[in-house]
Amino acid sequence: MAGLFESTGDGGAAIALDEVEASILRSLEVQMLELIGPGPGGHGDDPLAALFAEGPTEAPADPALARLFPDAYGDPATPADDEVRAASAEFRRYTELDLRARKRDDALQVVRSLDGLGGAGGVLKLPAADCPRWLGALNDLRLTLGVRLEVAEEDEQGLYELPDGDERKPLVMAYLWLGALQESLLEAITD
């Protein structure tokens, strides 16, 4: 393996990660957990109250969170009218808490899988059931880095041409690496 996912033949995937790669990926996922946070009403101990909790009605102010939890209606490029804003707010109120919980669970699954390597590198084998969670977590990381880097589809080729002295270079390298991981995982589970 060359640091990308390969099929295990049973719907799962495996990847060889060195200690640095595992550490970077784990650190990024921990940062994702901090970014997502517990969400509104996420601190309660009452499971029944949590079941009936309503989420926020406004989009997050942080652009990265707004990308992870976008409005369900309207075109992001055009201002929404009152009807579209009301529909988006209603949809968000009933779905964002569950979406946050799923994104947290996906990130935690990645962290736990990497913790299974014991802080060292090695071959990480993912059962088929974990692969969609890893895909979601990798996608969330890539979306977040894309927002932080202000990447637009038409600009993506320029990322490969950044000079070494550019302060964005480490984030760009992570962004491109996550894209390669995501693509190889998708290929591995569809083989």
- pLDDT digit string, tens, across residues 59-74: 899 999 999 999 999 8
Q: Is residue 93 part of a domain?
A: yes
Tokens of 188: 């591995």
> 136, 102 in Cβ contact below 8 A?
yes
Q: What is the pLDDT of residue 1?
A: 45
The answer to which of 2-6, 52-56, 149-153 has the lowest mean pLDDT is: 52-56
The verdict on residue 84 lying in a domain is yes
Average predicted confidence (pLDDT) for the chain: 89
User: Is it the case that residue 145 has pLDDT exceeding 90?
Assistant: yes
Query: Could you tell me which residues are beta bridge partners of residue 124?
Result: 15
Task: Name 38's Cβ contacts closer than 8 Å, sequence gap at least 6.
Answer: 100, 104
Express each pLDDT in 102-124 by its tens digit. 999 999 999 999 999 987 889 99
Stretch among 17-26, 77-86, 90-99, 123-132 having the lowest mean pLDDT: 77-86
At residue 39, does pLDDT exceed 70? Answer: no
**Residue numbers of the domain that contains 163:** 6-190
Indicate the DSSP class of residue 33.
H
140 located within any domain:
yes
Would you say residue 66 lies in a domain?
yes
**Helices 131-149 + 169-190 axis angle, to 10:** 150
Inside any domain, residue 1? no
Residue 114's pLDDT is 96
For the chain, the C-alpha Rg in angstroms (whole number) is: 18
In a domain, 16, yes or no: yes
How many distinct structural domains can be found in the chain? 1
